[in-house]
Amino acid sequence: MHYFKLIKWLVVLFALQGLVGCSTAAPQPQPQASFALEEPSINVNDPYESWNRKVFAFNEGVDAWVLKPIAQGYRFITPKFVRKGVSNFFSNLGEVSNFANNLLQFKPLDAGKDLTRFTLNTTIGLVGLFEVATPLFDLQPSNEDFGQTLNTWGLPEGPYIVWPLLGGKTLSETVSLPVDYYYLNPVPYVVDQKEIRWGLTGLQVIELRESVLDAERLIQGDRYSFIRDAYLQRRTFLVNDGRLESDPFLEDDDFDFDAADFAD
């Protein structure tokens, strides 16, 4: 009862203040309509957006002046089948990380598949230059990293952070980078010469940049928001092993999909 009385008296007090203001204040001219944009709401997954956009702009400049031209030159002078072999080679190296992380996530069947893929592609596929595990044995690749392992152990993804040169990543994936690219990377254990290791790292960066040249055409609107949202959606997909938590289309009672309607 005291709570409702307090609300009633507050309402009365504000009403009295309004009446007094109307009776004593001189009439003020009506302000013209304002068309100022509202302050953008803070994205819960991107609480550091102001800082991230500054780093993003820096990375875009480095990409425009250095990385993208090199990737375009690499595409121009390198035959497509060679680029495919390079891509297969680095993907095969990634099977080691997939294998280890699937074990750490208590998924022995997936780990066995990764080990089989690595063995087949390394031997029959000539150190991974040819992808033979999928077309010959229908063994689809995994995409695991130590960040997903940390999520499995209970660590949340954390906020989205854009790092200089590395780009935007969740906090858990950021923590996983030295584990995946050094401790779970077979190259440092096999190659002694630092020059060769750095050369392979540089080639991998160029190959990755070249592989997304065509995908840039899909970017629409605000480039930062598009890349961030696409990354976070893909990250959620990977963490959930491809399982969708919900499908807004299937949950919509008004959405009736019939494949026959789209048949030729």
Listed range (33-47, 125-139, 241-255) with the worst mean pLDDT: 241-255
Q: What is the pLDDT of residue 179?
A: 95
Name which residue leads in pLDDT, 97 or 15.
97
Do the beta carbons of residue 59 and residue 162 sit within 8 Å?
yes
Over residues 158-179, the mean pLDDT reads 95
The more confident residue out of 36 and 183 is: 183
Instruction: Give helix 68-77 / helix 194-211 axis angle, nearest 10°.
Output: 90
- pLDDT tens per residue, range 229-255: 999 999 999 998 876 555 443 444 443
Tell me: the pLDDT tens digits for 71-97?
Answer: 999 999 999 999 999 999 999 999 999
Q: Name which of 5-9, 37-41, 232-236 the model is least confident about.
A: 5-9
**Which pLDDT value is given to residue 106?**
95
- CA–CA distance from 258 to each of 43, 248, 250, 251 (Å)? 35, 16, 12, 15
For 196-210, how does the pLDDT look when each residue is reduced to its tens digit (9 = 90+)?
999 999 999 999 999
What percent of the chain shows pLDDT beyond 70?
Answer: 76
Residue type, 80: K
Cα separations in angstroms, 205 against 70, 166, 202:
10, 10, 5
User: What is d(CA 90, CA 97) in angstroms, rounded to the nearest whole number?
Assistant: 12
Residue 127's identity, in one-letter code, is: V
Distance between CA atoms of residues 72 and 232, nearest Å:
27
Return the higher-pLDDT residue of 39 and 112.
112
Mean pLDDT over 35-43 rounds to: 48
In this prediction the pTM is 0.75
Secondary structure of 199-253 in HEC code, one letter for each residue: HHHHHHHHHHHHHCCHHHHHCCCCHHHHHHHHHHHHHHHHHCCCCCCCCCCCCCC
Q: Where are the domains of the chain?
A: 49-239
31, pLDDT greater than 60: no
